[in-house]
Amino acid sequence: MSAAEEVVTEAPAVEAVPKRAMTLGYGTSLVVLAALILTPLFVKNFIIFQMTMLLIYGLAVLALNILTGGSGQFSLGQSAFYAIGAYTTAILMEHFNVNYALTLPVAGVICFAAGFLFGQPALRLSGVYLALATFALATAMPQLLKLGFFEHWTGGVQGLVVTKPDAPFGLPLSQDMWLYYFTLAITIGIYIASVNLLRSRSGRAFMAIRDNEIAASAMGVDVSLYKTLAFGVSAGITGVAGGLGAIAVQFVAPDGYTITLAISLFLGMVVGGVGWLPGSIVGSAFIIFVPNIAEGISKGLSGAVFGVLLFLVIFLVPHGARQVALIAQQLAAKLKKN
Amino acid sequence: MELFANQVLAGIATGAIYACMALAVVMIYQAIDHLNFAQGEMAMFSTFMSWQMMQWGVPYWWAFILTVILSFAGGILIERLLFKPLAKAPVLTNVAGFIALFAIVNSVAGLIWDFTIKQYPTPFGSSPFLGSQLISTHQAGMIGVTLLLLAALYFFFQFTRIGLAMRAAASLPESARLVGINTSWMIALGWGMASAIGAIAGMLIAPVVFLEPNMMGGVLIYGFASAVLGGLSSPLGAVIGGFLVGIFENLAGTYIPGVGNELKLPIALALIITVLVVKPAGLFGRPIVKRV
Amino acid sequence: MPFKLRTAVLSAAVIAFAATSGSAFAQKKYDTGASDTEIKIGNIIPYSGPASAYGAIGKTEEAYFRMINDQGGINGRKINFITYDDAYSPPKAVEQVRKLVESDEVLVVFNPLGTPSNTAIQKYLNSKKIPQLFVATGATKWNDPKNFPWTMGWQPSYQSEAHIYAKWLMKEKPDAKVAILYQNDDFGKDYLKGTKDGLGAKASSMITLEESYEVSEPSIDGHIVKIKAANPDVLLIYATPKFAAQTIKKTAELGWKPLQIVTNVSISVGSVMQPAGFENGQGVLSAAYAKDGSDPQWANDPGMKKWNEFLDKYMPGADKTDSALVYGYGAAQTLAKVLQTCGDDLTRANVMKQAASLKDFVPDTLLPGVKINTSVTDFAPVSQLQMMRFKGQKWELFGEIISGDIPTD
């Protein structure tokens, strides 16, 4: 091999997204919000359940978006943090009778710590190496959950059944509807906080690292701190999503948190548009509904149909839903001019 | 002590599986600078094609050669049809494309050949090798073929113009274009070669793990890990990485008390990550210097 | 809310209808999902993802009910079999089952597959009083009519099967050193527990090694080398087909000849014993409740002839070595029998009642002598097994039919 070291001008893994383009305009936000609030009143309970899952996976995709779109770090291991969050909630609810709402902050904090710690060794890794490390985390998690040592708490391979909460204060809402609005409130809270985070000083630091790490450190950004922080925040939000998921599904088991989940969340991010937070919900819709569509087209070939649909989407809009939004915006601007 | 020696030997035998796959991983990495998640599935599909030919009465070695040629062509075709249009798309979109390809190949293979396991023949026989029952003649043959492939790849990248051009196209595409290298076709060629090597790996692995649509799922994780451990830019490193992962995994399963057996994959992966933290380019990879 | 309201209106309408119509129609009673012309049956099974091999069960059942419909349906009603993919993921299972119940409005959820998925939907279905009938998993917990009166198993439980092996070992090889290779999930752990319970006080002295493997491992050769080093006389193989075949092959390659007992899940002649090599499998023991589609000894069996004709007509080209095709046929036939005995009273309560009063029912695919019996306290339909030994290219049954019923703890 040649003794010369390779010199590479590495293109950033993620394209720069201007700050303003990371959110929706006020008008659009209000329309989306109204739709999210009103739809459940007119649909069946199982659709409300699907919408709850839509929000929950949306949160998890959003968390990945903060990590990848924000700080440029790539992760295939989000299912691990989702699992930790879910188990935290399930164990607190079933073994310690903690109120479900109180378990979520605990899940968030524990996952933040786990993410922050994992971010330390991950600092030294980038690109495919980081992908492998996070991938390893995702494959290891179900095996850790099954471990005999934790079995008393986790229920081992059998998992834990979780009780679904009733609506409080005697509100005349079904369990599904209450859980939906509860999830919606949390989702909106986290969404607003995330948007503000990325607009803040820390957010600018994240993006500086994403666009050019060496330049960022030359400008005085504490690269290590912000990179691990991004991991922590992302894991924390994923943990809250996992906790909500455990309550909605009423069950946690190692089989629910395999690498397949991590890959789905990753696909959600790509389809929604990397770095574009509102796209998270579009990505989430893709990973929930497209497999159903694929199955409807052909049972025997559902995997293949899913693959073909995914190819179609990335051929038509390689930048995901963000691209669609941009095109729509340009169209709207043109119409206004005329 | 006997158990230790046995586990090392068994580890080498299993490591040969990983090493085979790791070579295919290095090949694609050299060509496109990424890991292809669908690579295991492509190898599985190639192996099924060879199995089908043998079912139709084609002799082993003819089926082998035909499959390698078909896989080479198939790899190029997939690149031209599916990934060339994505050349300008973001990296992560390409990764999503690999996942889509994975889903398609796996599902189609399941529909054509079903999910029951199938016996796959070996040209080397499965009697004990050199008196040791731990390594069969097939596994010895597999190690032999892996080393041959390694030598061929080394020669290709070091001493042929096209191999050099491919490396240049992957690591410095702009500069490569400036010196007249057709980078687009280099990538297609890389896909073809990776697919052909994957096919060979699949046909060698199938007699051990049995042929079925999900046979490569586990192998691919280990193949990635081996290649990354050895250094993605070094075929030799990938092969050594494969054997190391095989041996270490067995020893962890045997000697770490309590959790060793249940957690041998996580422990092996944790070790690899530790190695990467100390040597970010892998054991045999060249360090990369970034420009601002 | 709107849904609940509608059910209320609907059931009110049904009651009113039943009250006003004359005695001629009095016995016709329907719950959601059944009518004069149709019975809606729901099912979830993995058609995609790593467990997609089981999809063949769903396809067989779909084909079986197509055959039933071609023959005029059940008591004149067509079966509308709706099956969805849950990808072996509990959250997806919940979503799909809720879709079946709330959107497709099925009468029963039939043969959903996998212990995790079934655990995830059990509470929901029981609280809605919807039958979770003949679940496709061998966990012991499905036979629990007191706590879960709407859930019923079908196949013999993994633990009861392991009991049978333990009892046999205590009788035939009381001084054996036993090693257990098991899959590290609910399936493997149930067998492990059953074996230990069956051996009772002798468990600690007889079992010398418990070795687990993960499904994600490509090859389990390393485990076999380790087990061989402990030098046991008996190897219990609680593994899925691929790994069972690898084990049988590897032990032979190592020149090691322990007595091997393999789980009932992995006894297919065509897709386990043949790939492992017939010469390597000689003398391997197991237990069975159903016939094997690839075992030549059933070539002239009337039940299996029917099975073969069904496959040729409704699933041409299907891989007959796949034990899922035998399984799906047997389970579907049991459901057809239950629906037939329900007559015109197609309420969910009556379906459960009829399912819990099967007497000596024999589907075409069960071994001679194995019968399905249920009662209000026995929700384990198939609970008999017979031991067998592999010889030549087929399994030879021996001993008597053993009932493996064990109570839920």
How far is the alpha carbon of B278 from chain A, nearest alpha carbon, in Å?
8
Nearest chain B residue to C212, by CA: B262
β pairing state of A251-252 and C259-262: unpaired
Which positions 142-171 of B are in contact with C (Cβ < 8 Å)? none
Interval B49-56 mean pLDDT: 96
pLDDT tens digits along A27-82? 788 888 888 888 888 888 889 999 999 999 999 999 999 998 888 888 888 999 99
Question: Out of C218, C229, C241, whose CB is closest to B3?
Answer: C229
Contact call for B92 and A301, based on CB within 8 A? no
Burial C89-120 (b: 16+ CB within 10 A, else e): bbbbbbbbbbbbbbebbbbbbbbbbbbbbbbb
Is the predicted pLDDT of residue C21 greater than 60, yes or no?
A: no
Report the pLDDT value the prediction gives residue C5, as an integer from 0 to 100: 46
* CA B106-B95-A132 angle, 5° bins: 90
Query: At B143, is the secondary structure helix, strand, or coil?
Result: helix
The candidate with the shortest Cα–Cα distance to B276, out of A73, A133, A115, A209, is A133
The 3-state secondary structure of chain A, one letter per residue: CCCCCEEECCCCCCCCCCHHHHCCCHHHHHHHHHHHHHHHHHCCHHHHHHHHHHHHHHHHHHHHHHHHHHHCCCCCCHHHHHHHHHHHHHHHHHHHCCCHHHHHHHHHHHHHHHHHHHHHHHCCCCHHHHHHHHHHHHHHHHHHHHCHHHHHHHCHHHCEECCCCCCHHHCCCCHHHHHHHHHHHHHHHHHHHHHHHHHCHHHHHHHHHHHCHHHHHHCCCCHHHHHHHHHHHHHHHHHHHHHHHHHHHCEECHHHHCHHHHHHHHHHHHHHCCCCCCHHHHHHHHHHHHHHHHHHHCCCCHHHHHHHHHHHHHHHCCCCHHHHHHHHHHHHHHHHHC
- Label residue C155 exposed, middle or buried (CB < 10 Å: 0-12, 13-18, 19+): buried
Report the pLDDT value the prediction gives residue C221, as an integer from 0 to 100: 85
Report the pLDDT value the prediction gives residue C406, as an integer from 0 to 100: 57
- CB contacts, 8 Å: A157 with chain C: 184-186, 189
Interval C268-292 mean pLDDT: 91
Interval C88-97 mean pLDDT: 91
Interval C54-62 mean pLDDT: 92
Fold held by B2-124+131-278: ABC transporter involved in vitamin B12 uptake, BtuC (1.10.3470)
How far is the alpha carbon of C110 from chain B, nearest alpha carbon, in Å?
23
Contact call for B228 and A315, based on CB within 8 A? no
* CA B25-B218-A161 angle, 5° bins: 135
Interval C107-121 mean pLDDT: 93
The candidate with the shortest Cα–Cα distance to C61, out of C48, C75, C47, C77, is C47
Q: Under a CB-based contact definition with an 8 Å cutoff, are residues C346 and C376 in contact?
A: no
Interval C196-201 mean pLDDT: 90
pLDDT tens digits along A214-263? 888 888 888 888 888 889 999 999 999 999 999 999 999 988 898 889 99
Interval A119-138 mean pLDDT: 83
β pairing state of C78-85 and C38-45: parallel
Cα C8 off chain centre by:
35
**CA B255 – CA B268 distance, rounded (Å):** 13
Which residues does residue C79 pair with via DSSP β-bridges, in sequence order?
Answer: C39
Angle, to 10 degrees, between the axis of helix B39-55 and the axis of helix B91-113?
A: 20
Is the predicted pLDDT of residue C2 greater than 50, yes or no?
A: no
Q: How many CB atoms lie within 10 A of CB A81?
A: 35
Which residues does residue C136 pair with via DSSP β-bridges, in sequence order?
Answer: C113
**CA A75 – CA A309 distance, rounded (Å):** 23
For chain B, what percent of residues have pLDDT higher than 70?
96
β pairing state of C108-110 and C132-133: parallel
pLDDT tens digits along C208-241? 999 999 888 888 888 898 899 889 999 999 999 9
Q: Which residue has the tokens 């059933």?
A: C298
Report the pLDDT value the prediction gives residue A9, as an integer from 0 to 100: 39
For chain C, what percent of residues have pLDDT higher than 70?
92
Q: Under a CB-based contact definition with an 8 Å cutoff, are residues C393 and C402 in contact?
A: no
Question: Out of A74, A143, A314, whose CB is closest to B93?
Answer: A314
Query: At B134, is the secondary structure helix, strand, or coil?
Result: strand
The candidate with the shortest Cα–Cα distance to B194, out of B79, B54, B53, B52, is B79
How many domains does chain A contain in total?
Answer: 1
Which long-range CB contacts under 8 A does B80-84 form with residues at least 24 apart? Answer: B80/B188, B82/A311, B83/B187, B83/B191, B84/B184, B84/B187, B84/B188
**CA A200 – CA A193 distance, rounded (Å):** 10
Q: Under a CB-based contact definition with an 8 Å cutoff, are residues C106 and A272 in contact?
A: no
Q: Which residue has the tokens 């006080």?
A: C201
Backbone phi, then psi, for A25, in 5-degree steps?
Answer: -70, 165
Q: Is the dihedral of CA C341, C345, C346, C348 positive or negative?
A: negative
Question: Out of B7, B116, B219, whose CB is closest to C271?
Answer: B116
Is the predicted pLDDT of residue A208 greater than 70, yes or no?
A: yes
Paired tokens of C300: 């002239």
Q: Domain containing A225: what range?
A: 46-162+172-258
Query: At C345, is the secondary structure helix, strand, or coil?
Result: strand
pLDDT grade, residue B56 (50/70/90)? very high
Is the predicted pLDDT of residue C65 greater than 90, yes or no?
A: yes
Nearest chain C residue to B217, by CA: C216
Q: Is the dihedral of CA A61, A65, A66, A72 positive or negative?
A: positive
**CA C263 – CA C236 distance, rounded (Å):** 8
Q: Under a CB-based contact definition with an 8 Å cutoff, are residues C79 and C342 in contact?
A: no
For C43, C104, C123, C360, the CA distances from A44, given in Å and listed in that order, are: 20, 12, 19, 42
Report the pLDDT value the prediction gives residue A15, as an integer from 0 to 100: 54
In sequence order, the 6+-apart residues with CB closer than 8 A to the CB of B90 are: A13, A14, A15, A274, A318, A319
Contact call for C2 and A42, based on CB within 8 A? yes
Q: Under a CB-based contact definition with an 8 Å cutoff, are residues C153 and C348 in contact?
A: no
Please tell me the least confidently modeled range out of A237-251, B116-130, B180-194.
B116-130
pLDDT tens digits along A143-202? 888 877 777 788 878 888 888 888 888 778 888 899 999 999 999 999 999 988 888 888
User: Rounded mean pLDDT of chain C?
Assistant: 88
The candidate with the shortest Cα–Cα distance to C186, out of C229, C137, C230, is C137
pLDDT tens digits along C303-346? 999 999 999 999 998 888 888 999 999 999 999 999 999 989 99
Domain residue limits, chain B: 2-124+131-278
Could you tell me which residues of chain A have a Cβ less than 8 Å from any Cβ in chain C? 42, 44-47, 49-50, 53, 139, 143, 146, 156-159, 161, 174, 177, 245, 249-251, 253-256, 258, 260-261, 288, 291, 294-295, 299-300, 302-303, 306
Interval B156-160 mean pLDDT: 86
Query: At C136, is the secondary structure helix, strand, or coil?
Result: strand
Question: Out of A46, A156, A249, whose CB is closest to C103?
Answer: A46
Question: Number of residue pairs across B and C with CB atoms under 8 Å?
Answer: 103
Report the pLDDT value the prediction gives residue C158, as an integer from 0 to 100: 92
Neighbors of chain C with 3 or more C-beta pairs under 8 Å? A, B
Contact call for C53 and B115, based on CB within 8 A? yes
- Is A105 within a domain? yes
- Is A66 within a domain? yes
Report the pLDDT value the prediction gives residue B289, as an integer from 0 to 100: 59
Query: At C344, is the secondary structure helix, strand, or coil?
Result: coil
Please tell me the least confidently modeled range out of B275-279, C5-9, C112-116, C277-281.
C5-9
Query: At C130, is the secondary structure helix, strand, or coil?
Result: coil
Residue C317 has what DSSP assignment? T
**CA C207 – CA B120 distance, rounded (Å):** 34
pLDDT tens digits along C127-156? 999 999 999 998 888 989 999 999 999 999
Best of C60, C192, C217 to substitute, by most chain B Cβ atoms within 10 angstroms, is: C217
**CA B151 – CA B163 distance, rounded (Å):** 13
Is the predicted pLDDT of residue C17 greater than 80, yes or no?
A: no
Report the pLDDT value the prediction gives residue B231, as an integer from 0 to 100: 83
In C13-119, DSSP assigns E strands to 29-30, 38-45, 78-85, 108-110
Report the pLDDT value the prediction gives residue A285, as an integer from 0 to 100: 94
- Is A291 within a domain? no
Burial B246-268 (b: 16+ CB within 10 A, else e): bbbbbbbbbeeeebebbbbbbbb
Interval B87-104 mean pLDDT: 89
How far is the alpha carbon of A243 from chain B, nearest alpha carbon, in Å?
24
Give the amino acid at C115. T
Report the pLDDT value the prediction gives residue C18, as an integer from 0 to 100: 45
Burial C367-400 (b: 16+ CB within 10 A, else e): beebbbbbeeebbbbbbbbbbbebeeebbebeee
Backbone phi, then psi, for B235, in 5-degree steps?
Answer: -60, -40
Question: Out of B2, B209, B261, whose CB is closest to C219?
Answer: B209
pLDDT grade, residue B256 (50/70/90)? confident
Cα A39 off chain centre by:
23
**CA A122 – CA B7 distance, rounded (Å):** 32
**CA A58 – CA A38 distance, rounded (Å):** 18
Q: Is the dihedral of CA C295, C404, C365, C96 positive or negative?
A: negative
Backbone phi, then psi, for A54, in 5-degree steps?
Answer: -60, -45
β pairing state of C38-45 and C29-30: unpaired
Paired tokens of A264: 């789905």
pLDDT grade, residue B291 (50/70/90)? low
Is the predicted pLDDT of residue C162 greater than 90, yes or no?
A: yes
- Is A34 within a domain? no
Paired tokens of C256: 């090691």
- Is A322 within a domain? no
How far is the alpha carbon of B96 from chain C, nearest alpha carbon, in Å?
17
pLDDT grade, residue C69 (50/70/90)? very high
User: Rounded mean pLDDT of chain A?
Assistant: 85
Burial A105-134 (b: 16+ CB within 10 A, else e): ebbbebbbebbbebbebbbbbbbbbbbbbb
Residue C270 has what DSSP assignment? I
Nearest chain B residue to C275, by CA: B119
Report the pLDDT value the prediction gives residue A54, as an integer from 0 to 100: 94
- The residue that leads in pLDDT, A201 or C15, is A201
- Is A248 within a domain? yes
**CA C291 – CA C327 distance, rounded (Å):** 9
Q: How many CB atoms lie within 10 A of CB A329?
A: 13
